[in-house]
Chains A and B, each alone.
Chain A
Amino acid sequence: MKFSGFGYLIKEGIKNIWSNRMMSLASVGVLISCLLLTGAAGLLSLNVTNAVDSIGGNNVTRVFLEQEITDLEAVYIEDELAKLQNVTETAFISKDDAIKEYQESLREDIFEQLLGEGNPLPNAIDVTMADLALYDQTISQIMEVDGVESTRDTREVAEKLTSLNDLVTMLSFIIVVALILISVFIISNTIRMTMYSRRFEISIMKSVGATDTFVRIPFVVEGMTIGLISGTLTSVLLFLLYDIIMKAVQNIVEFDFVPYLQVGWWVTLAFILAGVLIGALGSVVSIGRYLKKEGNELLGW
């Protein structure tokens, strides 16, 4: 196969987009909508995962020790706790440190009575876990350590966050797959329209002995270009929208968003790649049937 005619075929593909501009515009629009929703689903999932991780990271379970445990004994207990597999960090909170946490919320005179001998709080150790899914197991291991009285239960929060994360991830995945299928369908429909309007040229190409590849190239170029345009525009749009949504949400609640620039290049790359692949796939799907037809059958005469 000669490559000399390729430039011409690529130009033809791009010309197709223009001569079929209403349909091209419509498919770029639909493709942008699909990619945007896909991106939103992906970023939501990313943010929820990130939030769960960061809450998990901050999720310190306070382990209360028995009243009679001294500071020295507490050091040994802390060592025991640190040895547990799911525990990443431990911090000793003496009863004096603990009471100081209440300083602001208590009256001066009452607070002073509670210092020193009058302190009702036990010594405690803050434990940070690596994996919240292993929460129950880790808590029961902690309870088995001598000198541990009780733990502050944060299990419910942990469970809810983990199941929310799973749900969001699963939903995002379903949305992404559904939207990609819709996009392929839309592109293949657009290409079919172009092929219909170019069936005359196709029949002449075939009658003078053009190979299937040669007939196919302009349409694949058309599909890929529509995908490329959509992918690029979606990246820009998503960047702007993310900023707006981030600010709106942060006005209502304190929420640590994953900064867009941290993932932006990957998102852009993914969109462009997805756009081009969807475009190519969409065109190949619709060309196959057309190439089998011959002569007048192709023209519908």
Chain B
Amino acid sequence: MIEFRNVSKVYPTGTHALNKASLTIDKGEFVFIVGSSGAGKSTFLKLIMREEIPTSGTIIVNGMQLDKLRHRQVPMLRRTMGIVFQDFRLIDKMTVYDNVAFAMRAIGASTKAIKKRVPYILELVGLEAKAQSYPSELSGGEQQRVGLARALVNNPKMIIADEPTGNIDPEMSFEIMELLSEINKRGTTILIVTHEHELVESFGRRVITIDKGVVVSDTVNVPAVAQS
């Protein structure tokens, strides 16, 4: 699903963001990528989405070798993944429904398909009652659920969440994580990038730690609940 082989990334400014990083994430996994700010997490995400190209090494995502991907083929890569942002990135002047539908329209889905799919996804994230609300009328947790609905609506093989709980209070955070677990159970790979160690520790999941551009550990966490 995701494979990094000796990937290095040096920015034109001279910053070594990643240094010979290698890792493999399989289909259906639920993985945390942790590290302090500046450790190389953002670069890691940008490389997966192919917003950046590695200086050296090979990246394979959903069967596509990214360095061999042409500019024209990048949209096809991105359709295999759903992105959830820390700051939600919802369009203020669109309703919840339209925000989710927008992702389908952007890739040329038919009106019929949109009408069938959007209500189903809104129900999945528990927002069917808020379909006609605007983002500003929602709580942070609800906004992030809209973000998640938008990421899910095109039925991607994996969800990549960049600090998904960074802007919401702890109770809501837990709710979002539960929702992601639920989605994972249906077979979607989940990749969460975060620096919130407490959140990671409360889930018994695989944790990949990056520091100074190097993968320093790759372990399966024992849930905090189980420890006590």
Contact = CB atoms under 8 A, between A and B. Distances in A.
A276 B85 CA distance: 39
Given A5-B107, A5-B110, A212-B72, 8 more contacts: A4-B108, A200-B91, A201-B91, A208-B82, A209-B76, A209-B79, A211-B75, A297-B51
A179 to B, nearest CB: 35
A209 B89 CA distance: 16
Contact of B75 (A203, A210, A294, A297): A210
A204 B102 contact: yes
Interface in A1-40: 1-5, 8
Contact of B79 (A200, A208, A297): A208
A195 B110 CA distance: 25
Given A294-B51, A295-B49, A204 B77 contact: no
A208 B154 contact: yes
Nearest to A295: B51
Contacts of B83: 207-208
19 contacts: A4-B108, A5-B110, A204-B89, A204-B102, A204-B103, A204-B106, A207-B49, A208-B78, A208-B79, A208-B83, A208-B103, A208-B106, A209-B76, A209-B107, A210-B107, A214-B107, A214-B108, A294-B51, A295-B49
Interface string B82-122: 11000001010000000000110111111100000000000
A290 to B, nearest CB: 14
A296 to B, nearest CB: 8
A204 B105 contact: no
A295 B46 contact: yes
A206 interface: yes
Q: How large is the interface on A (under 10, 10 to 19, 20 to 34, 35 or more residues)?
A: 20 to 34
Contacts of B72: 211-212
A200 B74 CA distance: 19
Interface of A: 1-5, 8, 200-201, 203-212, 214, 294-295, 297
Size band of the interface chain B makes with A: 20 to 34
B104 to A, nearest CB: 8
Interface string B122-163: 000000000000000000000000000010001000000000
Most-contacted residue by chain B among A5, A208, A211, A295 (CB, 10 A): A208
B80 to A, nearest CB: 8
A5 B103 contact: no
Q: Is the interface of A mostly helix, strand, loop or mixed?
A: helix
Contacts of A212: 72, 75
B109 A4 contact: yes
Nearest to B154: A208
A209 B81 CA distance: 9
Contacts of A5: 105, 107-110
Contacts of B74: 209
B106 A205 contact: yes
A4 B111 contact: yes
B50 to A, nearest CB: 8
A143 to B, nearest CB: 74
A205 B108 CA distance: 11
Nearest to B79: A209
A182 B108 CA distance: 35
Nearest to A299: B89
3 residue pairs, one from A and one from B, having the closest CB atoms: A209-B78, A209-B79, A5-B108
Contacts of B78: 206-209
Contacts of A206: 75, 78
A5 B103 CA distance: 12
Nearest to A211: B75
A195 to B, nearest CB: 15
A2 B52 CA distance: 28
Nearest to A6: B108
Contacts of A214: 106-108
Most chain A CB neighbours (cut-off 10 Å) among B82, B105, B154: B105
A116 B51 CA distance: 102
